[in-house]
Copies of this chain bind each other. A is one copy, B any other.
Amino acid sequence: MAKKEETAVTPTREDNYPLWYQEVIKASDMAETSAVRGCMVIKPWGYALWENMVSGLDEKFKRTGVKNAYFPLFIPLSYLEKEAEHVEGFAKECAVVTHHRLEKSEKGLKPAGKLDEPLIVRPTSETIIGESMANWTSSYRDLPILLNQWSNVVRWEMRTRLFLRTSEFLWQEGHTAHATREEAEERTMQMLNVYTDFVENHLAMPVIKGRKTESERFPGAVDTTCIEAMMQDRKALQAGTSHFLGQNFAKSAGIKFQTRERREEYAWTTSWGVSTRMVGGLIMMHGDDNGVIMPPRVAPAHVVLLPILKKSADNSGILEYTHKIADALADTTYHGRKVVVEIDDRDTGGARGWEWIKKGVPVRAEIGPRDMEKDSVFMATRDCAPRDKKGVKREEFIASIGDILDGIQNNLFNRALAFRKEHTHNIDNREDFYRFYTNEDGNRIAGGFTNAHWCGSAACEEKIKNDLSVTIRCIPFDSPREQGECICCGEPSSKRVLFSKAY
């Protein structure tokens, strides 16, 4: 048996994927659990990634005419009661504010000043934004309203995992109201396309676009569209959703307007969102046994320069040379953003290099006396093996930094796509389907994506879910019409749908 190469993260993905996920976050210093139940501390390295995600998405939203706004953190209890489907969805898991001050007692501080009506810390702002939209809309001239909010939301979770499932998380929620059905449907698809563009081109995460089945739909939505990505344990993660809500939501919120023909009508609305969960997805899709890998388009830093310094020697030459390179790089831009360069001149030897590998900086460049002599740097890219380094002339390094970064970005996307293809199968036989999702192979979870026929009945969908914990992730938009038999009941089907285990 070949000796396993040592890795910076233990266990490896192969050995224990869920534990690897925890450890890789620790190793990269992106986040940690806090003393507050279910809430996380997003540390600077993780938050910088989130900031880049926010600014990339925000720019795309605004280009479609969406405007940001901010609505209250608290939702009066009575608002939730208005939306029957909301209650079912969120009442089980929410933070309830019942008092508005603290009072000293013998046992220390205790809540005082009971509120007449309890307030819920927003699990989503649907109802409170709906209230405003109703106030702001009287004529077709007031439409469309195209709003987005970046904020924190709270959903009480019993089992939490950093980024993937936390009681408090950060997200954006878009809410739009339109005068016609067609316009709202177009907006639903437009925003799904914005997400697809962002996730594929900025996060280097290939996704499958489709529509949810009725049972997986957002409560109250007429249509839920989504993008689904395959993680390295071959499970699916939903990377964004865009909902067409028809007039359902406008009816419960009272968003009415007078049409051009002076009829009163309810507006047509949409909503769409992504959250810090996306950070978890990025880690799970690109990370390896040495740490996180940051796609260059959203990396908190693009390049780290590692001057090799000697104790009790004059290092000023090396440092000057390093800073010269840093300045030249920082004067260049990469996809409209300034190239961000870190210089790590700490004297900690090999550990220093491994720290940046674990953090996933796309490009590392060591700079020793011999590199300086040759007017070059000793470069490694994070998508390759840690020891895979090469000398590059300084001028060439600086001039081609954009190409180097694009190369990494494309490589990350292409290998994720190849991985997904490798683990996606058409299955036409119930026995094969069940075997595919139950045969455990060592420590690895069985499965992957399957394209299989489905008759359209909720009963078959539920049976598969109960038997295998496998769900229909979506009905892919590009799934061709094709005659077949339901993988569960054998009844006729006209289309394959995407099945998988999922986060």
Give the nearest-CB partner of A73 in chain B: B168
Q: How far is the CB of A497 from chain B (nearest CB, A)?
A: 34
Give the nearest-CB partner of A154 in chain B: B73
Establish whether residues B97 and A91, one from each chain, have CB atoms under 8 Å apart when the complex forms. Answer: no
Knowing A76-B35, A111-B118, A156-B100, the reply to whether A69 touches B43 (Cβ < 8 A) is yes
Give the nearest-CB partner of A35 in chain B: B131
Q: How far is the CB of A284 from chain B (nearest CB, A)?
A: 20
- Is A258 part of the binding interface, using a Cβ–Cβ cutoff of 8 Å? no
Establish whether residues B108 and A72, one from each chain, have CB atoms under 8 Å apart when the complex forms. Answer: no
The residue from B69, B76, B98, B108 contacting A99, defined by CB atoms under 8 A apart:
B98
- Is A102 part of the binding interface, using a Cβ–Cβ cutoff of 8 Å? yes
List residues of chain B with CB within 8 A of the CB of A68. Answer: 44, 47-48, 51
- Is A119 part of the binding interface, using a Cβ–Cβ cutoff of 8 Å? yes
- Is A354 part of the binding interface, using a Cβ–Cβ cutoff of 8 Å? no
Q: How far is the CB of A393 from chain B (nearest CB, A)?
A: 31
In the assembly, what is the distance between CA of A99 and CA of B73, in Å? 17
Q: Which of A86-102 touch B at CB < 8 Å?
A: 87, 91-102
In the assembly, what is the distance between CA of A111 and CA of B42, in Å? 30
Q: How far is the CB of A131 from chain B (nearest CB, A)?
A: 6
Q: Interface 1/0s, chain A 58-82, versus B by CB < 8 A?
A: 0000000001111111111110110
- Is A204 part of the binding interface, using a Cβ–Cβ cutoff of 8 Å? no
- Is A208 part of the binding interface, using a Cβ–Cβ cutoff of 8 Å? no
Q: Interface 1/0s, chain A 28-70, versus B by CB < 8 A?
A: 0000001110011111100110110000000000000001111
Q: How many residues on the A side are at the interface (Cβ–Cβ under 8 A)?
A: 60
Give the nearest-CB partner of A147 in chain B: B44
- Is A109 part of the binding interface, using a Cβ–Cβ cutoff of 8 Å? yes
Establish whether residues B70 and A42, one from each chain, have CB atoms under 8 Å apart when the complex forms. Answer: yes
Establish whether residues B96 and A111, one from each chain, have CB atoms under 8 Å apart when the complex forms. Answer: yes
- Is A170 part of the binding interface, using a Cβ–Cβ cutoff of 8 Å? yes
Establish whether residues A77 and B95, one from each chain, have CB atoms under 8 Å apart when the complex forms. Answer: no
Knowing A36-B75, A132-B41, the reply to whether A100 touches B111 (Cβ < 8 A) is no
List residues of chain B with CB within 8 A of the CB of A201. Answer: none
Q: How far is the CB of A24 from chain B (nearest CB, A)?
A: 19
- Is A222 part of the binding interface, using a Cβ–Cβ cutoff of 8 Å? no
In the assembly, what is the distance between CA of A156 and CA of B69, in Å? 22
Establish whether residues A100 and B109, one from each chain, have CB atoms under 8 Å apart when the complex forms. Answer: no
Establish whether residues A101 and B132, one from each chain, have CB atoms under 8 Å apart when the complex forms. Answer: no
Give the nearest-CB partner of A50 in chain B: B70
Q: How far is the CB of A345 from chain B (nearest CB, A)?
A: 13
List residues of chain B with CB within 8 A of the CB of A69. Answer: 41-44, 47
- Is A180 part of the binding interface, using a Cβ–Cβ cutoff of 8 Å? no
In the assembly, what is the distance between CA of A67 and CA of B29, in Å? 14
List residues of chain B with CB within 8 A of the CB of A92. Answer: 101-102
- Is A493 part of the binding interface, using a Cβ–Cβ cutoff of 8 Å? no
The residue from B40, B67, B121 contacting A97, defined by CB atoms under 8 A apart:
B121
- Is A152 part of the binding interface, using a Cβ–Cβ cutoff of 8 Å? yes
Give the nearest-CB partner of A152 in chain B: B73
Q: How far is the CB of A259 from chain B (nearest CB, A)?
A: 18
The residue from B36, B103, B111, B119 contacting A128, defined by CB atoms under 8 A apart:
B36
Establish whether residues B95 and A91, one from each chain, have CB atoms under 8 Å apart when the complex forms. Answer: no
Q: How far is the CB of A57 from chain B (nearest CB, A)?
A: 14
Q: How far is the CB of A402 from chain B (nearest CB, A)?
A: 21
Q: How far is the CB of A417 from chain B (nearest CB, A)?
A: 32
List residues of chain B with CB within 8 A of the CB of A22. Answer: none
In the assembly, what is the distance between CA of A41 and CA of B152, in Å? 15
- Is A151 part of the binding interface, using a Cβ–Cβ cutoff of 8 Å? yes
Establish whether residues B101 and A94, one from each chain, have CB atoms under 8 Å apart when the complex forms. Answer: yes
Q: Interface 1/0s, chain A 109-126, versus B by CB < 8 A?
A: 111010000111100000
List residues of chain B with CB within 8 A of the CB of A154. Answer: 73
Q: Interface 1/0s, chain A 154-189, versus B by CB < 8 A?
A: 101000000000001010000000000000000000
Q: How far is the CB of A81 from chain B (nearest CB, A)?
A: 6
Q: How far is the CB of A28 from chain B (nearest CB, A)?
A: 14
List residues of chain B with CB within 8 A of the CB of A47. Answer: 67-70
List residues of chain B with CB within 8 A of the CB of A77. Answer: 102, 108-109
In the assembly, what is the distance between CA of A67 and CA of B73, in Å? 25
Give the nearest-CB partner of A75 in chain B: B36
Establish whether residues B72 and A168, one from each chain, have CB atoms under 8 Å apart when the complex forms. Answer: yes
Knowing A71-B41, A102-B80, the reply to whether A96 touches B97 (Cβ < 8 A) is yes
Establish whether residues A96 and B95, one from each chain, have CB atoms under 8 Å apart when the complex forms. Answer: no
Known: A73-B121, A94-B100. 12 other contacts (CB 8 A): A36-B74, A47-B68, A47-B69, A51-B68, A73-B168, A77-B102, A77-B108, A77-B109, A94-B102, A99-B118, A100-B156, A121-B121
Shortest Cβ-Cβ A-B pairs, 4 listed:
A39-B72, A44-B67, A91-B102, A42-B70
